[in-house]
């Protein structure tokens, strides 16, 4: 059974693994190997994960105590992460994580959620009710394209 809970510092190794495996396997059709490498490298530093877990509403999805996905929301309403391990995709885990995020945002009286979503995840976010703000190019050591998307609550 899939469950969700708040992330802890001792989840960092598993979170990093989900992040890096998912980018390597699920995003490879939409980004070049160089872009994937730069993106994967952004997950290397455990201190940065610690800061995100501390500063954001950071949740994980688990099955049999194993982390299979995670998502996080900053206090300004920006959704930083939404990742589901490839073997567990298309089973509703992403939607489950997002529902928790949205409930939290409403509890915090946020009026909108914004995210910069990958080419790969654009349709998923559309299904959740997000609208396109703009297509953009950001630099993560190399230029990558993503979509700024927004949902009013
Ligand atoms: C995007 C992602 C989080 C979705 O997680 P998931 O667990 O597969 O999503 P769900 O099973 O809850 O799907 C919810 C709906 O979105 C649809 N959907 C999900 N991913 C999709 C995709 N890539 N293309 C088209 N539709 C998609 C599902 O079919 C489902 O539709 P339905 O409700 O009509 O049946 C996951 O695919 C992922 O981690 N992708 C790679 C990492 C990534 O790019 N993350 C976003 C970074 S900004």
Domain ranges of the chain: 2-110
| Architecture of the domain delimited by 2-110 | 3-Layer(aba) Sandwich (3.40)
Mutate to test the pocket of ligand 1, among 35, 89, 148 (most ligand atoms within 8 A of CB): 89
- The pLDDT tens digits for 70-109 are 999 999 999 999 999 999 999 999 999 999 999 999 999 9
pTM above 0.75, yes or no: yes
Buried (b) or exposed (e) across 28-67, using 16+ Cβ within 10 A? eebbeeebbebbbeebeeeeebeebbeebbbbbbbeeeeb
CA 28–ligand 1 middle distance (angstroms)? 15
Instruction: For residue 142, give the DSSP letter.
Output: S
Rg (CA), the chain: 15
CA 69–ligand 1 middle distance (angstroms)? 12
């Amino acid at each position: 059974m899939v469950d969700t809970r708040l992330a802890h510092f001792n989840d960092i190794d598993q979170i990093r693994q989900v992040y890096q495996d998912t980018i390597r396997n699920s995003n490879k059709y939409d980004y070049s190997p160089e872009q994937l490498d730069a993106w994967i490298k952004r997950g290397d530093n455990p201190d940065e994960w610690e800061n995100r877990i501390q500063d954001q509403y950071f949740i994980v999805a688990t099955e049999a105590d194993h982390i299979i996905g995670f998502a996080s929301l900053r206090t300004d309403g920006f959704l930083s992460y939404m990742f589901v391990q490839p073997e567990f995709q298309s089973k509703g885990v992403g939607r489950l994580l997002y529902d928790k995020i949205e409930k939290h945002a409403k509890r915090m009286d946020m009026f909108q959620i914004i995210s910069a979503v990958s080419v790969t995840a654009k349709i998923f976010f559309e299904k959740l009710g997000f609208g396109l703000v703009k297509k953009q190019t950001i630099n993560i050591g190399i230029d990558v394209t993503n979509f700024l998307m927004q949902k009013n609550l």
